[in-house]
């Protein structure tokens, strides 16, 4: 009989393409994982894996069975969640993902409230880019994630949490007054510093630049610098190397640096919609609604 353990090992092998790394991820020895994969192949009567020196490749059939294994594993986790979390919301283990441009600014607001209101919640956090968060939600590694909407994923449901307007961050020496709103066409795109590829905030900034009727080519920048965190981008702005679009939720933290200031943009102000994403089949929607309520309350209290 095929076991969930065997499916979990196959899914890990598909992700890591290496017996040693897959075994480490599953907290077992490499020979034990290899033996379980061979037993799975024997039971199914097919070859799932091409074994090569130093690497592993799944066969075409192996890739399809691995994809189906991820679905089975996610359903099994949903079954456990359904049994464990019927009594009261936000108890036990919850794995929550969050995008890097949100984590350092939102988590300090919501974590104390969650600990106070739901003391039996065992929260595990994962900070990474949207693409990986979506994959891990679908595969069952994450219960939910806070990220920018929309996603356009048919297997994922979302709850809208709040709107996060963009501000223009400039060096404090910029002659423009903070009281005056900036027209989009007045942004010098050649000095616009963005996060590196893969960050949704970069894509949102480029999408806004594409709506500006004149100026340099959208996305073209005089900077050869690429950052993986918004905090690093802000240090570049503070040093006078350029300007950037920053979410409103980050302004309270980044404004502590007297070398920068923030300018509001003219209407319609650009921004992003922040939401909570989770598997459509998850039985923990009451948990996600309770979590969403905490986030909304904390953001409203802090004025973002």
Structure tokens at 187: 């942004």
* Residue 300 · residue 218 · CB < 8 Å: no
The pLDDT value recorded for residue 220 is 46
The pLDDT value recorded for residue 85 is 62
Alpha-carbon dihedral sign for residues 200, 229, 169, 255: positive
The CA distance from 2 to 28, in Å, is 19
The CA distance from 200 to 222, in Å, is 21
The CA distance from 276 to 147, in Å, is 7
Q: Which residues contact 192 (CB under 8 A, 6 or more apart)?
A: 205, 209, 221, 223, 242, 243, 244, 245
The CA distance from 219 to 240, in Å, is 19
Beta bridge partners of 278: 144, 157
Q: What is the DSSP string of 239-304?
A: TTS-BEEEEHHHHHHHTTSTTEEEEPBPSSPPEEEEEEEEETT-S-HHHHHHHHHHHHHHHHHTT-
Structure tokens at 296: 């909304």
pLDDT digit string (tens) for the chain, length 304 residues: 899 999 999 999 998 888 999 999 999 999 999 999 999 999 999 999 998 777 788 999 999 999 899 889 888 887 877 776 666 788 888 999 999 999 999 999 999 999 999 998 999 999 999 999 999 998 888 999 999 999 989 999 999 999 999 999 999 999 999 888 988 888 888 888 888 777 788 888 877 877 666 544 444 444 445 677 888 999 999 999 999 999 999 988 888 899 999 999 989 888 999 999 999 988 899 999 999 999 999 999 876 5
The CA distance from 184 to 181, in Å, is 10
The pLDDT value recorded for residue 221 is 43
Q: Give the residue from 188, 191, 202, 197 showing the smallest Cα distance to 237.
A: 191
Angle (nearest 5°) at CA 25 between 285 and 83: 30
**59: three-class secondary structure by DSSP:** coil
The CA distance from 40 to 38, in Å, is 5
Strand 144-149 versus strand 92-98 pairing type: parallel
Q: Please confirm whether the linkage preceding 150 is cis (ω < 30° from 0).
A: yes
State if pTM tops 0.85. no
For the chain, domains (ranges, CATH) are 4-74 (1.10.10.10), 84-162+273-301 (3.40.190.10), 164-212+224-271 (3.40.190.10)
The CA distance from 86 to 49, in Å, is 40
* Residue 101 · residue 195 · CB < 8 Å: yes
Task: Give the residue carrying structure tokens 């441009």.
Answer: 101
The CA distance from 285 to 126, in Å, is 20
Q: Which residues of 231-249 are buried (b: 16+ CB within 10 A; e: fewer)?
A: bebbbbbbeebbbbbbbbb
């Amino acid at each position: 009989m095929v076991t969930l353990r065997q499916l979990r090992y196959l899914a890990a092998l598909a992700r890591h393409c290496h017996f040693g790394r897959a075994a480490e991820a599953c907290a077992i020895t490499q020979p034990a994982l290899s033996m379980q994969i061979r037993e799975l192949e024997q039971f199914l009567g097919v070859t799932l894996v091409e074994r090569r020196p130093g690497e592993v490749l799944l066969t075409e059939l192996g890739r399809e069975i691995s994809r189906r294994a991820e679905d089975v594993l996610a359903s099994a986790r949903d079954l456990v969640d359904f049994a464990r979390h019927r009594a009261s919301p936000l108890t036990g283990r919850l794995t929550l993902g969050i995008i890097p441009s949100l984590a350092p600014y939102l988590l300090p607001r919501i974590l104390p409230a969650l600990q106070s209101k739901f003391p039996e919640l065992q929260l595990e956090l994962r900070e990474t880019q949207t693409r990986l968060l979506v994959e891990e939600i679908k595969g069952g590694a994450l219960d939910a994630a806070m990220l920018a909407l929309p996603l356009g994923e048919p297997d994922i449901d979302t709850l809208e949490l709040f709107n996060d307007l963009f501000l223009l961050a400039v060096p404090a020496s910029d002659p423009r007054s903070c009281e005056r709103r900036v027209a989009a066409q007045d942004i010098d795109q050649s000095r616009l510093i963005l996060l590196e590829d893969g960050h949704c905030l970069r894509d949102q900034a480029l999408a806004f630049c594409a709506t500006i009727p004149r100026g340099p080519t959208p996305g073209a920048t005089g900077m050869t610098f690429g950052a993986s965190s918004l905090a690093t981008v802000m240090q570049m702005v503070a040093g006078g190397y350029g300007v950037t679009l920053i979410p409103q939720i980050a302004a309270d933290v980044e404004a502590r640096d007297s070398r920068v200031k923030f300018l509001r943009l003219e209407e319609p102000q650009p921004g992003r919609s922040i939401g909570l994403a989770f598997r459509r089949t998850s039985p923990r929607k009451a948990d996600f609604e309770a979590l969403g309520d905490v986030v909304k309350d904390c953001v409203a209290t802090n004025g973002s």
